[in-house]
Amino acid sequence: MRIIVLAKQVPDTRNVGANAMKADGTINRAALPTVFNPEDLKALEMALQVKDQMPGSTITVITMGPPRAEEIVRDARSRGADDGFVLSDARFAGSDTLATSYALSKAIESAGHFDLVFCGRQAIDGDTAQVGPQVAEKLALPQITYAESLESISEQEIVIRRRLEHGVETVAASLPALVTVTSAAPDCRYPHAHRLLRFAKTPVEVKTADDVNPDFARLGLNGSPTKVKKVDNVVLAHKESVQLDPTDDNLNELMHSLISEHII
Amino acid sequence: MNFYTDNDSLSFYLHHPEMAEIATLREHDFAEAGQHPEAPANAEEAIEQYDSVMRLIGEITADVVAPNAEAVDHEGPRVENGRVVYAKGTRQNLDTMIRAGLYGMTLERRYNGLNFPRVLAVMAGETIARADVGFATIWGLQDCADTIQQFASQELKDKYLPRIYAGATCSMDLTEPDAGSDLQSVRLRATLDEANGCWRLNGVKRFITNGDADLHLVLARSEEGSTDGRGLSYFIFDRADGGLTVRRIENKMGIKGSPTAELVFTNAPAYLVGDRRMGLIKYVMSLMNAARLGVGSQSIGLCEAACREAEAYAASRQQFGQPINQFVAVQDLLRAMRARTDGARSLMYETARLVDRSASSKPAARLADILTPLVKLMASEFSNRNAYDCIQVHGGSGFMKEYACERLYRDARVLSIYEGTSQLQVVAAIKGIANGAYLKRIEEYDQQASALALNERQQQLLALLRQATEGYNKLYERATANGTTDALFEHTARALTETLAYIIMGYLLLMDSTRSERFLDSADFIVHSALAESAHALAMMA
């Protein structure tokens, strides 16, 4: 079984400084420490679980970002992924989710045959949860979102338990398929010391836009209809509490006031 | 959380100036570079490898081992059908470490090890012990692999060493009901079974840490009719071969996650390690030194944990309208705790570096031999004092079971007992006191320190260290007024040993402080302790 994991190197949001945002409203990545996007790491673990159950499977990690995103590929390989590459090109700069999912879908196609694509539900820097589903659409794959656990896997079918707002749901998809994994899924296993040392010394392949044969008009800012006008840091200043009798009218009024003040 | 990256001292000793040479020695001038996919090509790369593996250990200890410590302390291991079952958390700790490929980190690459030096073994040890000393004992027993690597036949090495990497746990079966500190009295019988090409073990071992391990190194009497240490040989026994029953495990005061077992060997098949009759004299002594350094690392891990628990509590606990760390009396406790931790740690890494040099240098081996009992003595005693002070900082809360300091206090207690009591460490130091080996080393440290660019405060400390050495000499003269065979010398041996240890730690911290000033306060405390120790002993003799 050939498995693709999409992973993103993201700013470590526990350590965000003052210059985290550039004037054009995009993230100033150079100023931030980076981490493996947490839900992508859980996606990698689910891929590794498939590999555990289907010996002989291979896992390829694809990450799009600046050249230093190679750290993600090394990290993933130290945890058990077989190979991977960085999709890096100045022409990808400023991509929104539409352009990103297009570039990633081309990268997946360039990597040849595959049976499964795993990715995190969303990245902690954008919180859109759009890239996984958009990649699935572009590749015309069935998709399972909000995956919490791998229930079973065979050559033909994957069965996943989904974590939804009001409960869980177990669904099956025929392969090939794409799965997005939520934070409720199991943590990723630790790196293996021997792999850690070995892959620290192994160069990571970097692919450019030319290597994935795209329509260049769909890349980067040109291919991104989303325009960020301004980003505000919202600080909830008031900590007052209101006591209400539990009547329908009171609750109705509270909900309206919360909505009118854009709190919910 | 990461117990490596949040502790600057570890990175400080990992990047000690001598580490490049130690990596070069360990890697035999990087002979495997290019031939093995993991072998480093130079010292810088080797040290980067050490750093990346310590990051991994730091992450696992903080995320898995530390959170499990309390439940493991409550649950403990149990015996089922003659076998030990670890507490759930212990099993998880072990499995996580094994799956991360960390077991057997000092093994050579051909046995699937990482070929890391002793410095890294003790660094891993203290990091794990900071999370849970009980688990650190189970982890630390993989040092048995070094004995096998050093002394066993090629056949035994090929058979057993790769299994240790794969997670086979180890134990070192020495103690018997009538042979504790006096190992010459070991009675467990080993008889040659020529028909089956092995030895047969019969008898009882007691207080065996991790006693139901997969692989056992067993000290046994192979020479019938002999009564002393020269009749003892060393054997390797594989649990899977049968012949071993766990009679019971002890109900202990601390390190409850670590099963301490009474073992009954009945015709258990075993294989001789090295030569007959050399069991106690050579192999156990070698393993014992590694084990003592290991207890040093456990002790320092506990010292660090106690410091952090106390510092955190003192910063958050408010009394009289301010955090209690604003009160001088509490600050004094915290400062002493930090100084003991720093002092013992500087001595431990110095000793570990000497152990790493021992393979190619006899003088280094001799120095490692004399410094090892000082590490064991001081670190384990300090860990008890830190645990005591940690509870003191917590006040009444520290006496309750809710805080980790209570567990630290119980866990610390065995550290100054097992692998040789503090009193036996003093006995081990006496030779170096009588023949001047420690003083000679102190002179070398003095020359090294004098050659460094010292600021005014450091120069003052150097002067005080020389004064402390004079104090030691006075004490030594008094103690040996009637010769070194007189009881007075024996009575004073502990004070002499501790004074020397303080002086050596003082020099080491002084030199460390030239690379990082944060060690200055600790150096100051330790240097003054050196002065006080000999002065106190002299006053008691007056």
Q: If 0-12 CB within 10 Å is exposed, 13-18 middle and 19+ buried, where does residue B447 land?
A: exposed
Shared domain for B129 and B12, answered yes or no, is yes
Give the span between the Cα atoms of B138 and B112, in whole angstroms.
Answer: 20
| Contacts B112 to A, Cβ<8 Å | 194
Partners of residue A186 in chain B, C-beta under 8 Å: none
pLDDT of residue A239: 67
Average of per-residue pLDDT values in chain A: 90
Q: B100, A190: Cβ pair inside 8 Å? A: yes
- Binning pLDDT at 50, 70 and 90, where does residue A227 land? confident
In a domain, B131, yes or no: yes
Q: Is residue B324 part of a domain?
A: no
List chain A residues with CB under 8 Å of B49: 197, 200
Nearest chain A alpha carbon to B60: A190
How far off is chain B from A78, nearest CA to CA, in Å? 10
Using the 3D structure, point to which of B248, B276, B304 is the last residue of a domain: B276
**Number of helices and strands in chain B (H, E):** 18, 11
Q: Which domain holds residue B197?
A: 170-276
Within a domain: A263 = no
Same domain, B23 and B151: yes
- Is the pLDDT at A13 greater than 80, yes or no? no
- Among A215-229, B150-164, B236-250, B457-471, the range scoring the smallest mean pLDDT is A215-229
CATH code, B65: 1.10.540.10
Burial profile B59-95: b = 16 or more Cβ within 10 angstroms, e = fewer: bbbbbbbbebbeebbebbbebeeeebebbebbebbbe
- What is the residue-averaged pLDDT of chain B? 95
Residues B158, B24, single domain; the answer is: yes
Last residue of a domain, one of B225, B256, B276: B276
Residues of A in contact with B96 (CB under 8 A): 190
d(Cα B104, Cα B111) in Å, to the nearest integer? 9
Residue B337 lies in a domain: no
pLDDT digits (tens, 9 = 90+) for B354-372: 999 998 999 999 999 999 9
pLDDT of amino acid A31:
75
Query: pTM for this structure?
Result: 0.91
Among candidate residues B165, B185, B210, the one where a domain is terminated:
B165
Confidence band for A96, pLDDT divided at 50, 70 and 90: confident
Residue labelled with tokens 């949860």: A129
What does the pLDDT look like over A205-219, one tens digit per residue? Answer: 999 999 999 999 898
What digits encode the pLDDT tens for the residues A101-158? Answer: 999 999 999 999 999 999 999 888 878 888 999 999 999 999 999 999 999 999 999 9
A193 chain-B contacts, CB cut-off 8 A:
53, 56, 100-102, 105, 114
Residue B224 has pLDDT above 80, yes or no: yes
Residues B495 and B476 grouped into a single domain: yes
In a domain, B50, yes or no: yes
pLDDT value for A22: 76
Residue A62 in domain: yes
Instruction: Return the CATH number at B494.
Output: 1.20.120.470
Q: Is residue A238 pLDDT above 70, yes or no?
A: no
Task: Determine contact: A197 vs chain B, CB below 8 A.
Answer: yes
Q: Which of B59, B60, B101 sits opposite A194 (nearest CB)?
A: B101
Shared-domain flag, residues B161 and B86: yes
Alpha-carbon gap: B486 to the closest alpha carbon of chain A (Å): 54
Q: Is residue A230 part of a domain?
A: no
Residue, of B511 and B290, whose pLDDT is higher: B511
The pLDDT of residue A228 is 79
Instruction: Decide if pLDDT at A235 tops 80.
Output: no
Q: Are residues B160 and B186 in the same domain?
A: no
Mean per-residue pLDDT for B231-249?
Answer: 95
Are B157 and B32 within one domain? yes
Same domain, B18 and B149: yes
| Structural domain contains residue A205 | yes
Helix residue spans in B61-185 (DSSP H): 66-75, 88-99, 118-131, 133-140, 144-151, 154-165
Domain that holds residue A53: 2-223
Tell me the nearest-neighbour CA distance from A49 into chain B, angstroms: 14
Query: Residue A29's pLDDT band (boundaries 50, 70, 90)?
Result: low
Q: What is the pLDDT of residues B456-497, one digit of tens each?
A: 999 999 999 999 999 999 999 999 999 888 899 999 999 999
Q: Are residues B125 and B189 in the same domain?
A: no
Q: Can you give the CATH number for the domain in which A203 is found? A: 3.40.50.620
The share of chain B scoring above pLDDT 70, in percent, equals: 100
More confident residue, A222 or A208: A208
Residue at token pair 């990450």: A63
Tell me, yes or no, whether B182 lies in a domain: yes
Residues B24 and B92 in one domain: yes
Q: What is the pLDDT of residues A53-62, one digit of tens each?
A: 999 999 999 9
Name which residue leads in pLDDT, A233 or A82: A82
Determine, yes or no, domain membership for A80: yes
More reliable by pLDDT, B293 or B81: B293
- Would you state the pLDDT for residue B55? 97
* Rounded average pLDDT over B500-522: 97
Distance, CA of B253 to CA of B361 (rounded, Å): 41
**Average pLDDT of the residues in B419-432:** 95
Answer whether residue B281 is part of any domain.
no
Give chain A positions within 8 Å (CB) of B45.
201
Candidates A196, A198, A201; nearest CB to B56: A196
- Which residues in chain A are contacts of B56 at CB distance < 8 A? 190-191, 193, 196
Same domain, residue pair B541 and B475: yes
Interchain contact B101–A (C-beta under 8 A): yes
Beta strand A116-120 with A177-181 is parallel
The 3-state secondary structure of chain A, one letter per residue: CEEEEEECEEECHHHCCCCCECCCCCECHHHCCEEECHHHHHHHHHHHHHHHHCCCCEEEEEEECCHHHHHHHHHHHHHCCCEEEEECCHHHCCCCHHHHHHHHHHHHHHCCCCCEEEEECCCCCCCCCCHHHHHHHHCCCCEEEEEEEEEEECCCEEEEEEEECCEEEEEEEECCEEEEECCCCCCCCCCCHHHHHHHHCCCCEEECHHHHCCCHHHCCHHHCCCCCCCCCCCCCCCCCCCCCCCCHHHHHHHHHHHHHCCCC
* Number of domains present in the structure of chain A: 1
For chain B, say whether A15 makes contact (Cβ under 8 Å).
Answer: no
Nearest CA in chain A to B115: A194
What residues in B contact A197, CB-CB < 8 Å? 38, 49, 52-53, 114
Number of independent structural domains in chain B: 3
Determine the residue among B52, B92, B97, B109 to mutate to test chain A binding: the one whose Cβ has the most chain A Cβ atoms within 10 Å.
B52
The complex scores an ipTM of: 0.91
pLDDT (mean) for A23-41: 82
Residue A260 is assigned to a structural domain of this protein: no
What pLDDT band is residue A242 in, cutting at 50, 70 and 90? confident
Judged against a pLDDT cut of 90, whether residue B287 lies above it is answered with no
Give the count of beta carbons closer than 10 Å to the beta carbon of residue B158.
12
- Enumerate residues 6+ apart whose C-beta is below 8 A from A130: A97, A101, A122
> Nearest residue on chain A to B104, judged by CA atoms?
A193
Query: Which chain B residue is nearest to residue A78, measuring alpha carbons?
Result: B100
Residues B183 and B266 in one domain: yes
